[in-house]
Amino acid sequence: MQATTLSTLPPPLPERADGDFIIEARGLGKTYGSQPALVDFSVQVPPGTIGLLGPNGAGKSTFIKCLLNLETPTTGTARVLGRDIRAANRASRERVGYSPEQDCHIAGMAGCEYVTYCGQLSGMPMRVARQRTHEILDLVGMGQERYRPVDTYSTGMRQRVKLAQALVHDPKVIFLDEPTNGLDPSGREHILKLIGSLWRDLGISVVMSSHLLRDVERVCDRVIIIGNGRLLEHDSIVALKNRHRRIVELAPASEVERFVTVLTSTGAKLTRLSNGKLRVESESDSIEWILQLMRAHGLPPAEIVANPDALHELFIQSIGTAHGSQP
């Protein structure tokens, strides 16, 4: 088979103003030698907080690097903020922030010097970049450490300064690759809260790549699941959970045994959990049948949580499906 070259790629997508999507990919593919890293990846992503979810090696970082023009796609094309990814102009770079998974600091530079320099590279005047740097370093929770060389930072502090350099120039969208790696619990909590506030408070869209399901579920309102370089799922987290609602957990206020008897009589699979709750599996996509059952039998009130592990189960199912159909 003839190798794909730049000349065989489709023509660039026409530029357009920001609209309904921050990312539009069409047939995007990337191959390293004979190993495909992305396969026919097509997606349209609206503004907001988006989790890019998949196991290590799934193609998450490759997807981000293609969108940022750090890697050249083998096939297909894409737009970020309405601009074709192959139109490597300064105007588009000024509107995008990127925090890579690997360390990206410059040896010997203090944290504040490094972030200021990154601001200048993004087109900011020196004075503005310096002032903005200290505002952003405050935002990410860095104190006097900012005056020390980045080489001396802990893993957690390096993660904070990477986030700061990605935000210093006020981008419209920021790409974060494994932003909580190496953070202790308190540092993780601070960074996740900050990431969650970027869209809500500042209007900055976030694309956060992670293999940690709980981090994505915590701060994102939309998720893209990748496995073996393929797009497996893309939807809002609420919609994904609703589409896969099969499991319900109940915490009866009283009369637990009556709940057990009534639920078992319907043929539903029932499990008693160690925390005293009841786990019910059925074929229904709704909890309405449980509510009707409670009314019909005069059962006492109960806390009902529909499919608390829906995203986790969907993730496991999707990855299993991908492994069954490897490219």
Phi and psi at residue 52, in whole multiples of 5°?
-100, 105
Same domain, 85 and 146: yes
Are 274 and 184 members of one domain? no
- The SS3 of residue 48 is coil
Residue 79 near residue 4, CB atoms below 8 Å: no
**Any bridge partners for residue 231, and if so which?**
226
- pLDDT band for position 272 (50/70/90)? confident
* pLDDT of 321 over the 60 cut: no
pLDDT category at 56 given cuts 50, 70, 90 is: confident
What's the rounded Cα separation, in Å, for the pair 257 and 259?
5
Q: Are residues 114 and 182 in the same domain?
A: yes
Q: Tens of pLDDT along 130-173? A: 999 999 999 998 999 999 999 999 988 999 999 999 999 999 99
- Residues 22 and 147 occupy one common structural domain: yes
**pLDDT digit string, tens, across residues 222-248:** 999 998 899 988 999 887 776 655 677
| Residues whose CB is less than 8 angstroms from the CB of residue 255 and which lie 6 or more positions away in sequence, other chains included | 299, 300
Residue with tokens 């074709």: 84
Q: Which of 3-17, 205-219, 311-325 has the lowest mean pLDDT?
A: 3-17
Amino acid at 254: S
Task: Output the domain CATH number for residue 264.
Answer: 3.30.70.120
Same domain, 177 and 285: no
Residues 108 and 212 reside in one and the same domain = yes
Domain that holds residue 58: 6-238
Q: Are residues 300 and 213 in the same domain?
A: no
Q: Is the domain of 174 the same as that of 78?
A: yes
For every residue of 211-257, DSSP letters joined together read S-HHHHHHH-SEEEEEETTEEEEEEEHHHHHHHT--EEEEEESS-HH
Percentages helix, strand, coil for the chain (3-state, rounded to 5) are 40, 25, 35
Residue 193's alpha-carbon distances to 196, 219, 268, 279, in angstroms, are: 5, 7, 39, 31
- For the four alpha carbons of 200, 313, 102 and 148, in that order, the dihedral sign comes to positive
Phi/psi region, residue 52 (left: phi>0; alpha: psi -120 to 50; beta: rest), is: beta
At position 321, the amino acid (one-letter code) is: T
What percent of the chain is modeled with pLDDT above 70? 83
Residue scoring higher pLDDT (142 or 276): 142
Q: Are residues 278 and 175 in the same domain?
A: no
In the predicted model, what is the mean pLDDT of the chain?
84
Identify whether the C-beta of residue 208 lies closer than 8 Å to the C-beta of residue 214: no
- What residue type is assigned to position 67 of the chain? L
Q: Are residues 126 and 51 in the same domain?
A: yes
**Backbone φ and ψ of 211, nearest 5°:** -100, 5
Could you tell me which of 85, 44, 65, 21 has the C-alpha nearest to residue 231? Answer: 44
pLDDT(287) > 60: yes
Give the whole-angstrom CA distance, residue 253 versus residue 240. 29
**155 domain-assigned:** yes
60 and 226 Cβ atoms separated by less than 8 Å: yes
Average pLDDT for residues 301-317, to the nearest whole number?
A: 69
Rounded Cα distance, 88 and 128, in Å: 25
pLDDT at 7: 35
Q: Is residue 187 part of a domain?
A: yes
**More confident site: 181 or 117:** 117
* pTM listed for this prediction: 0.74
> How far is the CA of 254 from the CAs of 26, 277, 287, 300, 302, in angstroms?
55, 11, 19, 6, 8
Element (H, E) at 38: strand 35-45
The count of domains in the chain is 2
Query: Could you tell me the CATH number of the domain that includes residue 184?
Result: 3.40.50.300
Whether 318 and 227 have beta carbons less than 8 Å apart is answered as: yes
